[in-house]
Amino acid sequence: MAYWAIKDYIMLNHESLIDDMSSVIHAFVNGSVSLNDHVSVECANAISFLITHRIVYPPVKFTESLQPQTMSCVMDALMHLTGHKSKFIKTRAFSTLSTLSTYCSSSEDVKQVIENDLKVPG
């Protein structure tokens, strides 16, 4: 239900979104590691929605409302979801990664951000 609520909120209020989406995004990232499959499905759908609607990884440099660490957490959650036992959740995660790949080819800014997220520290 949380996914549908946030989706409706975003769709209906696109022009006047809350200033800081980071807490909302972090809630879905945290939920993606839940042992409850229903919660994981909701979070996989929400993360996919946030990416496909370019709320996370927008085609411009970082916005003030989304810090780089928020976006890298989303990538971590997506990568985690690709290993989920549910085929639906895995498919959603891989499909979203495919969408990100398409965005990388069309936006140098998105490509740079994702490359930074994928670098291993050290």
Please give the model's pTM, rounded to 2 decimal places. Answer: 0.74
> How many domains does the chain divide into?
1
Closest to 21 measured CA to CA, from 79, 76, 63, 60: 63
pLDDT of amino acid 105: 79
Asked if 96 contacts 52 with a C-beta cutoff of 8 angstroms, the reply is yes
28: amino acid identity, one letter: F
Q: Which domain holds residue 39?
A: 2-11+19-118
Res 74: pLDDT: 85
Segments in the chain below pLDDT 50? 62-65
Q: Which residue matches tokens 């995004």?
A: 25
